[in-house]
Chain A
């Protein structure tokens, strides 16, 4: 269930979702006032078919400890078959991500429909708790530190902004 804030490690979870099913399902969780861990950041796409596996790699590289990809159930795709293309793509991609050295338990694929606010909460909570026990993804963070990175996360302005919170 909902865990309290007092963890030494707060996992960073990124969710790549389609706008028609899972985004709407997450909206429904909100209108139903369901509660779930605040670790997830949602990125909206028209369709899971649009989600390039490179995005997942990039998310891990940029500090995500867990990634969720979720869209419409098979047969329910707003664009007829985008989710099926995504499924095939990610079936092949799993092998690659494992080869790169990311534990497959950090990556979750699910179908959450616009009517499944409860399922969205379950999926997010389950993944967050799992990552919590797994700990941070250190391997990629080390790599990221070595790289001359282009992200603006470490600008003085931002640091100040965060310090104000």
Chain B
């Protein structure tokens, strides 16, 4: 279904013109017709899947692509994360990778012609123990070697950057220092989803929403129905019918294992929920993103003035996104240790998202033992900030049939080779 004036070019002038003429904006993306075959099928319509589709079209000219999502675009982790971006990781592989993502986020509003509200407000990871301070120094040195703006600062500077923090020494976990990363910040996560969806759609990619994948069709494998190692992908079976395709990319985060299982591939992934919460809006008082590993919390203030809190993943594996009272109780206690002044603020709501946790806190990207079946999964608690670079690299991986150097360390085969990329010290707050 073609749309007139599609896609509309967004600009201040366009806004005024349409406001005066009172004409409606055209739909942002098409409701595509059903097709029975594509060159590439991407399962999962979140940041990762949409970015992969966008870069396949933009960088490699592959436009006969479908993105399938069982619900609406951005309904999973892409719309549930706390929208923090940074690149101050611990391993050289991780730093190079996430820094490329930050580069892409920096120019995204222009590239996609959509304001993604990137706020480069700085990112502070607090250290409450000597060992945490040691890790912060380690991270700062790894970061500096790769030309990332990252340094360890003391309590006085912390107090200047975020006056609401309690940096006194008579708390349970006194703040000894912090890893300060000025290029980090927050971004509007929905806008990133919409920007990629709109950009991909404009280049001819079909975005099929409410299209749940029931099975992945394979032939020639060792397992049942020709699946498993040595098989070749031939297409997918969805609620709306079968689609044939020589390449299927799994970008389904929390549900990654269930989708990979349909192709007979086992992944080193366990699905845990991560809960987050938001308060009522107040005047701006917290200029940076603040993270505390010891207190299992990270907090930032949105442009509307709400405080957004995230925590560590819940310890028990589940696909259920229900909230728990234990979470809000612990969160409130921990946040008040950091910022005693906000005790009268009210929590507005809480939610959860599913995290596909890997043993080494690094993702799993690239080919699998099934020919034509690619994965971009294992995104745990750090998938949103990696969305753009993952899309770019997965698109290159699929288009060239070879894994790019930037994601080579994250291939599935690292688990059989025993070459894990241990990123827990910089990727998680629950340790």
Q: Do A and B bind each other?
A: no
Query: Which residues of B does A touch, CB under 8 Å?
Result: none
